[in-house]
Amino acid sequence: MALPLKYNFRNVIVRWRSTLATVLGIALVVAVFVLLRALARGIEASSANTGDARNILVVRKGSQAESGSIVTREHFRTIQYLDEIARNERGEPIISAELVLIVSAPRRNGTGEANTLIRGVTPRGMELRPQVKLVDGRWFVPGKREVVVARRLAARFAGFEIGGVIKSGQDRLAVVGHFDAAGSAFDSESWMDADEARSIFDRENYSSILLRPADATAATNLITRLERDKRLALRAEREVDYYSKQTMTAVPIKILAGLLGTAMSIGAVFAAMNTMYASVASRTREVGTLRVLGYSRRAIVLCFLIEGALLAAMGGVVGCLLALPLNGYATGTMDFQSFAETVFQFRVTPDLMLMGLAFSVIIGVAGSLLPALRAARLPVIVALKSI
Distance CA 373, CA 304 (A): 9
Per-residue pLDDT at 167:
86
At position 230, the amino acid (one-letter code) is: K
Per-residue pLDDT at 2:
58
Using an 8 Å Cβ cutoff, are 370 and 273 in contact? yes
Per-residue pLDDT at 97:
93
CA triple 97-94-120, angle to 5 deg: 30
Calculate mean pLDDT across residues 31-39. 84
Give per-residue pLDDT as tens, 286-327.
666 676 677 777 877 788 788 888 888 888 899 999 999 888
**Residue 375: band (very low, low, confident or very high) from pLDDT cuts 50, 70, 90:** confident
Task: Please list, residue by residue across 49-58, b when 16 or more beta carbons sit within 10 angstroms of its beta carbon and e when fewer do.
Answer: bbbeebbbbb
Which run of H or E residues covers position 191? strand 189-193
**Residue 249: band (very low, low, confident or very high) from pLDDT cuts 50, 70, 90:** low
Q: Is the pLDDT of residue 42 over 60?
A: yes
What is the pTM for the complete model shown?
Answer: 0.71
Residue extents of the structural domains in the chain: 5-47+248-385, 62-232
| φ/ψ bin of 36: left (φ > 0), alpha (ψ from -120 to 50), beta (otherwise) | alpha
Q: Is the pLDDT of residue 383 over 60?
A: no
Range in 72-81, 170-179, 261-270, 377-386 with the lowest mean pLDDT: 377-386
DSSP SS3 for 183: coil
Give per-residue pLDDT as tens, 92-130.
899 999 999 988 888 888 778 888 889 999 888 888 998
Distance CA 131, CA 150 (A): 12
Per-residue pLDDT at 365:
84
Q: Is the pLDDT of residue 31 over 80?
A: yes
Give the alpha-carbon dihedral of 16, 20, 26, 30, to 10 degrees.
120
Per-residue pLDDT at 141:
93
Give per-residue pLDDT as tens, 254-267.
676 667 767 776 77
Q: When comparing pLDDT for 81 and 265, which is higher?
A: 81
- Minimal CA–CA distance to 310: which of 9, 4, 95? 9
**Residue 248: band (very low, low, confident or very high) from pLDDT cuts 50, 70, 90:** low
